[in-house]
Amino acid sequence: MLSFSDKTYKALSQVGLTDSEIRAYAALLKIKEPTASELSKSANIPYSKVYDVLSSLEEKGWVSSNNTRPTRYIAKSPSTGLDTTRQRNDDRFTKQQAIILNEIGPLYESSDSSEKPDILVLSGSAIEAKMLEVAHSCRREVMIAIPETGQMLVPRAMPRLQALHDRGVNIRVLAPQSMNTEFLKSLSRVSTTVRIKKDLFGGGIISDNQYVMILLAPEHVGAEVSDTVAIWADHAGLAKFATMYFEYLFEGSEAIQL
């Protein structure tokens, strides 16, 4: 009987297949359209259990059957099985999520232990320090929108961006159309993607879809970096909203021409 490597066997187990289901699927890859009886012998599954195993595999999307007598079984592609399994898991999770949130959500909100996310209002040099801290903690992806008044932060941020780039972090930068060409060249060397947009007054940084800093541009023309005010938060909801807005701006931006 065909057998899988330990690594693949473990992976199949982790996506929800039982030992008997894995053995049955392996046998189906080796034998062309077997009956349940033939599969029982090949996969060493008791005949009294083989129909339950095959029914479960059909439900999970790994096996199909025809209408002949006796019924014969055919292995579906692993990609089909994985897609069906993932969809089943997603549907199950969505249903369980609704049940949990409907009952426990109100209890949590009314309790003394409900989450109090950190939210800070920053100005002056504290903005740069916190921004570098957010970038340093990033592990997967950082999205950066540089406002018109924040361009002078670019040279000071380059060493940290280089470190993130070297660690394999996905870096996406949205810069103002008026940005210095040399700054754009520097950013393009350490970023996955750099794009430009006209009239980019506000800005911010989002790290791993968790930490967010929103830069609020000063209202008066000719303002300095020191006049900028920022809001930093460790808040999943705010980070999600900021990410959606970043994606919206990014989609309407232009590729840089260097």
Domain spans, the chain = 6-81, 119-255
Around Cβ 47, how many Cβ atoms within 10 Å? Answer: 11
Return the CATH number of the domain spanning residue range 119-255. Answer: 3.30.870.10
Task: Give me the phi and psi of 71, to 5 degrees please.
Answer: -65, 135
Same fold, 6-81 and 119-255: no
Helix (H) or strand (E) holding 75, with range, is strand 73-75
Q: What would the pLDDT profile of 60-105 be if each residue is shown by its tens digit? A: 999 999 888 899 999 999 999 999 998 988 888 888 988 988 888 7
Highest CATH level, class, for 6-81? mainly alpha
Q: Are 49 and 42 in contact (CB under 8 A)?
A: no
The torsion defined by the Cα of 252, 255, 257 and 258, in degrees rounded to 10, comes to 130
Q: What would the pLDDT profile of 135-177 be if each residue is shown by its tens digit? A: 777 888 999 998 877 777 788 788 888 888 888 899 999 988 8
